[in-house]
Chain A
Amino acid sequence: MKTHAHLSIGAIFLSLALVSCEDKISPTLENAAPILAVDAWINNKPGKQVVVLSQTQGYFDATNPPGITGALVTIINNSGKVYSFVEDPLSVGNYVWMPAANEVFGPVGQSYTLAIQLNGESFRASSRMGRVPAIDSISFETEKRIGSLDSITRAAFWATDPVGSGDTYWIRSFKNGVPLSKPQEINIAYDGGFSAGGVADGVVFITPIRRRINAVDKDANGKQLSPIAIGDSINVQIHSVTLAAFDYLNQVSIQTNRPGGFQELFSTPLANVSTNVTNTNINGSKAIGFFNVSAVSTAGKRYKK
């Protein structure tokens, strides 16, 4: 909720902004031993599914996360069907499941358990595929930019949350085929609204969620770029996620979306996000990350004059 409501508050502290300042710093951090990080977001789209296993790095370690080899990765559904993930020799740490023809994860309602065997330890996580509404359409709207002569074009998707409360979604979008995965682009919904307490069951997704499928990019002067230009395409996917995954993504959004400036007044202090990966041995080594199996609905559109 925070991230939505406070979106533009920071932008307007004109006079105060003159006296504030931000500096990049390099504080010394405590050392920590690496642990297993699991990145397992599986969906029912045709094609290969990937689970990524890596080690945590020092916070300022600016390299790709070291992949973990030699693990045994399987997903089992509640009917006992086993999906075996095979290590990808070309990309270290990636474990891939290649479907047979027309084979996908699902159907909706199916439960799954992820099992990882690594160095004699055994990790588990579970998920359930929830339902997802179809996307009716994608629209574009152009408006004059506040405080400037040029205009700004945004996309919005239109879909209606099915009746029955407790559906949770991650709405992911792609601009010209590139996934929009900046922290400020995380777009999650509880029914058609922000949160369980918000009561927005069975409605068209509310405005801030509909619009939050746009790229957030700035030019060299910090000026916001129009998310859509003529010829751009936008592809929107609604992924059903479990409640635990919704909470997880909400925490990720709070912890990673730090635009700085006066919005820091509304930021919460740093805290660890949750995980659903557990070691079967309670005294064994820890793991973090998330496993979720989604049903996906998709729509795309190109912006033409």
Chain B
Amino acid sequence: MLRLIYGVALVFFAYSAFAQEKFTINGYIKDASNGEALIGATVFIKEIKNGVTTNEYGFYSITLPAGTYSVNYSYIGFQSISNVVVLNKNNQMSIELVDENEQLQEVVVKGEIEQANVQNAEMSTNKLEMKTILKIPTLFGEADVLRSIQLLPGVSTVGEGASGFNVRGGSVGQNLILLDEAPVYNSSHLFGFFSVFNPDAVKDIKLYKGAIPSRYGGRLASILDVRMKEGNSKKLEVTGGIGSVFSRLAVEGPLIKDRASFIVAVRRSYIDVLARPFVQLLKDGGALNFYDLTMKANYNINRKNRVYLSGYFGRDNFKFDKNQGFNWGNSTSSFRWNHLFNERLFSNLTFVYSKYDYALQFGRDDRNSFSWNSSISNFIVKPQFTYFINSNNELNFGGDVTYYTFEPANAVGVTNGKSVNLSIDRKYNLESALHIGNSQAISENFSIEYGLRWSYFQFLGPGTIYSYNDTIPGIRKSVNKEKTYTGGQTIATYNNFEPRFSFKAQINEASSVKGSYNRMAQYLHLISNTTASNPLDVWNPSSNNVKPQMADQFTLGYFKDVGEEKKYEVSLEGYLRYTQNQLDYIDGADLLINRYLEGDLLSGQGRAYGIEAYFQKKTGRLTGWVSYTLGRSELKVNGINKNEWYETRYNQTHNLKIAGFYDINKRWSMSGNFVFTSGTPTTFPTSRYVQQGILIPYNANESRNNVHLPSYHRLDISFRLEGKTMKNGKARKNSDYWVFSLYNVYARKNPFSIYFSQNDQRLPAGQPLQSQATQLSIIGTIVPSVSYNFKF
């Protein structure tokens, strides 16, 4: 496959040789303060009223006929720079932009407002600046990437305590989360209260909810692309924070000034350390903590070659005592090599290793114990090319190959020293894809992006597979055949063509209409039938029994800038997504340590649709946004809900988010956010009956998700106090700030679930059993917190 890609690349070399009278301007756009590449910065050529944006590595390239051009470089939150270029040869123009809060005299400041969303061809994408994320009030005062994106339109969660997030009515397992191109299979620490991304080490996050470019694939609902900082290439810098739940420390700096840099960031929670004197369980060897380590280094070999090495290692650790416990974590590492074949052909070659695993250990001693672990790991090779054909065309092509190893369960029970192995065979899979896509400006006001992805999935030996008898849908399927394959044999294959298309029609300078269609295929399935996703959920590959999930999504949106200086942005987007081969589970499904798991799975179709409205104020002392989503997400599966459509567990009709940021004075600022969402669906019983002394709930209408929990709303406020900038009349070298935050200000008991049970009392014979309903609120009070953050 690599050969094919290089073949395609060669064709373009040949093509470029004919374009004699044209010249290329290219280079990198960086942050002047620390040398970090700026992703998505705009390079605009006034004469042609067109431009390009920098890619994930801060690189841009634009090819124009010879002439004199005025080139404007801009990026949100940075001062723009304009240059006049006489183009009679290829030009390398690497630019460093200065933060708009810093005043440097020699730079020409142009107060131009970004109009990214209106003029950019992309739609259904959201970008959150780290600067903004750091201001959003959060639980325990800790800035968090995933909790922040939940304030964006179309993004939701089923509540506190749920791992992951839901995009446009998709499940948690339908999001692809990439950390420097390495997939992250569980994005949560502490059951979703925090995400695995250390904000000190994150540079840029971008969420694709629709109009997904052909270079991405493998999940139905969204792609969250998280890019880590490269590390300050100009000077050594230490940042950190001390909070009520954990502390953070990050060190970054140049290895070789302006050519090589590194960053190392660590976090560790210490609730257990603080609580140890008071809690006997912790004294006895119990533990409750998480930590993570994020590292990256890069080396700019020469103008045409640059390499990056990134790594993440994190773990959550719960111990009931010295011998018993539960832990889980991700580790990822990626090596990337940027290579410039010529002025217009940029390439990146990525190698990734990524793993998610969890382990449980029960039992008092070695002679009587039960241990169990599970993992998913993969190796990825991913060559990607961008060919900047001319100012109207940007061609992306490449491929990726992923080799997966699944360990569904390694479980060993030891009884009086005799062990019983309950382990389930590993599964091996290969997922490959080829993709090509072009963004093309048809005219000044109309541009399109089109592409095609071809994905191919192989279920490989060695392994034993089972086939199942057909039965009444909703009942466990029994095994009718098993077959064993050896290494090298292919057990099942699937392949899909995934077309992608989007357009942008500029109505006038301040408004545009955009639309898209994309098809996505997903070969891995997150198996979860609990109320909310949790760390024990296992990933299961497509197989002879489980078909890949497919989605077709259509979107249409209207984008407008309003007000003087275009300080407000308004957008309205509708989406409609049909999905096939959606998984659901028979009642009483056994998903863990079960080699016949696939006999408990059901398959059906899904549909999700909605409208997202977004209003943002981008400048001034008061900034912020209002986001409202009206949506619906449903499934239809034979064997569930009398075979009729039912709402998904994460369906939310109304989803309103308001985020505001206000600068009170030079040192104090405040921010607040308010969230209102409709209660998520749940199932209530109608009746009860008794069986051998046990009270059993019964829904006589056989309905699924027939009622809704009470609605969820919450207000959070935080205040930030900047440290003094002057000390004894001199400017301080260090900077610091305090964050005081209040989560759930009016202490609403937002329900996580309502469950039905029989009273725990042991009753004398003949007494009627008592039934009860209980509402659980994971956060039922106001949670105040303080954190101190520093940088020097």
Contacts and interface: CB of A to CB of B under 8 A. Distances in A.
Q: Do A and B come from one complex?
A: yes
Interface of A: 1-2, 5, 8-9, 11-16, 19-27, 29-35, 37, 39, 41, 54, 56-65, 143, 146-148, 178-179, 181-183, 186, 192-200, 203-208, 210, 215, 217-218, 247, 250-252, 254-256, 258, 260-262, 264-274, 288-290
B335 to A, nearest CB: 36
Contact of A197 (B587, B596, B762): B596
Contact of A270 (B364, B687, B697, B780): B697
Interface of B: 161-162, 190-191, 193, 271, 275, 279-284, 286, 288, 318, 320-321, 324, 326, 360, 362-364, 368-370, 372, 411, 413-416, 418, 420-422, 424, 475-476, 529-532, 534, 536, 587-590, 592-597, 649, 682-702, 704-707, 749, 752-758, 760, 762, 766, 768-781, 783
A270 B683 contact: yes
B694 A204 contact: no
A267 B530 contact: yes
Given A195-B590, A252-B696, A271-B587, A32 B687 contact: yes
Contacts of B698: 56, 59, 272-273, 288
A264 B772 CA distance: 15
A143 B364 contact: yes
Nearest to B321: A146
A171 to B, nearest CB: 13
A200 B420 contact: yes
A260 B418 contact: no
A12 B288 contact: yes
A56 to B, nearest CB: 4
Of B190, B690, B769, B780, chain A has the most CB atoms within 10 Å of the CB of B690
A17 to B, nearest CB: 10
A13 B280 CA distance: 13
A30 B706 CA distance: 9
B167 to A, nearest CB: 21
Contacts of A34: 687
Contacts of A182: 694, 758, 760, 762
B692 A181 contact: yes
A56 B689 CA distance: 5
B776 A206 contact: no
B321 A13 contact: no
Of A39, A146, A270, chain B has the most CB atoms within 10 Å of the CB of A270
Given A181-B694, A250-B588, A271-B587, A146 B687 contact: no
B391 to A, nearest CB: 53
A27 B710 CA distance: 10
A215 B762 CA distance: 10
Given A206-B413, A206-B420, A207-B415, A19 B780 contact: yes
B590 A54 contact: no
Given A181-B694, A207-B363, A255-B697, A20 B288 contact: no
Q: 6 closest pairs, A vs B, by CB?
A: A147-B280, A21-B780, A197-B594, A32-B700, A251-B588, A181-B693
Given A54-B689, A256-B697, A270-B683, A23 B590 contact: no
A25 B689 contact: no
6 contacts: A56-B698, A62-B768, A65-B768, A181-B692, A197-B597, A250-B588
Contacts of A218: 760
Nearest to A268: B529
A5 to B, nearest CB: 6
A15 B289 CA distance: 11
Given A194-B593, A197-B595, A261-B776, A57 B416 contact: no
Of A1, A8, A198, A218, chain B has the most CB atoms within 10 Å of the CB of A198
Given A218-B760, A255-B697, A274-B475, A264 B776 contact: yes
A160 B786 CA distance: 57
A13 B192 CA distance: 14
Contact of A178 (B762, B768, B772, B781): B762
A160 to B, nearest CB: 10
A251 B411 CA distance: 23
Contacts of B414: 207
A14 B413 contact: no
A146 B281 contact: yes
A262 B534 CA distance: 11
A20 B369 CA distance: 32
Contacts of B755: 258, 260, 264, 267, 270
A274 B597 CA distance: 18
Contacts of A215: 762
Contacts of A181: 692-694
